[in-house]
Amino acid sequence: MAGLVAAARARELGADVRVLEKGSRAGGSMLLSSGVIWRYCDFEEFRRQCPGGDPSLQRLVWERLDDALDWLGRLGAPVVERDTERAFTTGRRFEPRGLTAALVRAAGTIELAATGEPEAPLVVATGGSPVRLARERGLLVRSNAWSEGDGIGLALQRGAEALASDEFYGRAMPGPVPEEQFVAASQLYGRFARRVNDLGEEFFPGEPSWSENDLAQAIAAQPGGRAWYELDAAALERPEVADRIPFAQETEPLPGGGLRVRVHAAVTHTYGGVKVDERARAADGVWVAGVDAGGISNGGYASGLAQALVLGLAAAESISS
Ligand X SMILES: Cc1cc2nc3c(=O)[nH]c(=O)nc-3n(C[C@H](O)[C@H](O)[C@H](O)COP(=O)(O)OP(=O)(O)OC[C@H]3O[C@@H](n4cnc5c(N)ncnc54)[C@H](O)[C@@H]3O)c2cc1C
Buried b (16+ CB within 10 A) or exposed e, 219-255: bbebeebbbbbbbbeebbeeeebeebbebbeeeeebe
For 25, which DSSP code?
Answer: S
For 52, which DSSP code?
Answer: T
- Asked if residue 199 lies in contact with residue 223, where contact means CB atoms within 8 angstroms, the answer is yes
- Asked if residue 239 lies in contact with residue 150, where contact means CB atoms within 8 angstroms, the answer is no
Decide: is 270 part of the binding site for ligand X (CB under 6 A): no
Residue with nearest beta carbon to ligand X: 304
For 186, which DSSP code?
Answer: -
Report how far residue 261's alpha carbon sits from residue 286's, in angstroms, rounded to the nearest whole number: 46
Residue closer to ligand X (CB basis): 23 or 299: 23
The mark string for 37-76 relative to ligand X (x by CB under 6 A, - otherwise) is x---------------------------------------
Decide: is 259 part of the binding site for ligand X (CB under 6 A): no
Residue closer to ligand X (CB basis): 154 or 259: 154
CB of 299 to ligand X, least distance (A): 17
Decide: is 33 part of the binding site for ligand X (CB under 6 A): yes
- Asked if residue 128 lies in contact with residue 147, where contact means CB atoms within 8 angstroms, the answer is yes
- How far from the centroid of its chain's Cα atoms is residue 299's Cα? 14
Interacting residue with ligand X among 35, 174, 273, 294 (CB under 6 A): 35
Residue closer to ligand X (CB basis): 35 or 294: 35
Segment interacting with ligand X (CB under 6 A) among 35-43, 77-85, 208-216, 228-236:
35-43
Decide: is 297 part of the binding site for ligand X (CB under 6 A): no
CB of 31 to ligand X, least distance (A): 8
| Paired sense of beta strands 194-196 and 79-81, if any | unpaired
Interacting residue with ligand X among 49, 58, 100, 144 (CB under 6 A): 144
CB of 165 to ligand X, least distance (A): 15
Interacting residue with ligand X among 34, 109, 157, 209 (CB under 6 A): 34
SS3 of residue 227 by DSSP: strand
User: Which residues 173-202 are close enough to bind ligand X by CB under 6 A?
Assistant: 182-183
Interacting residue with ligand X among 6, 8, 21, 301 (CB under 6 A): 21
Decide: is 127 part of the binding site for ligand X (CB under 6 A): yes
Residue closer to ligand X (CB basis): 44 or 180: 180
Residue 101, CA distances (Å) to 5, 133, 226, 272 in order: 12, 29, 36, 29
Bridge partner list, 172? 265
Residue closer to ligand X (CB basis): 213 or 222: 213
Burial of 139 (0-12, 13-18, 19+ CB in 10 A): buried
What's the farthest any 2 CA atoms get from each other in the chain?
67
Decide: is 152 part of the binding site for ligand X (CB under 6 A): no
Residue ranges in contact with ligand X by CB under 6 A: 1-3, 20-23, 28-30, 32-37, 125-127, 142-144, 146-147, 150-151, 182-183, 268-269, 290-291, 303-306, 308
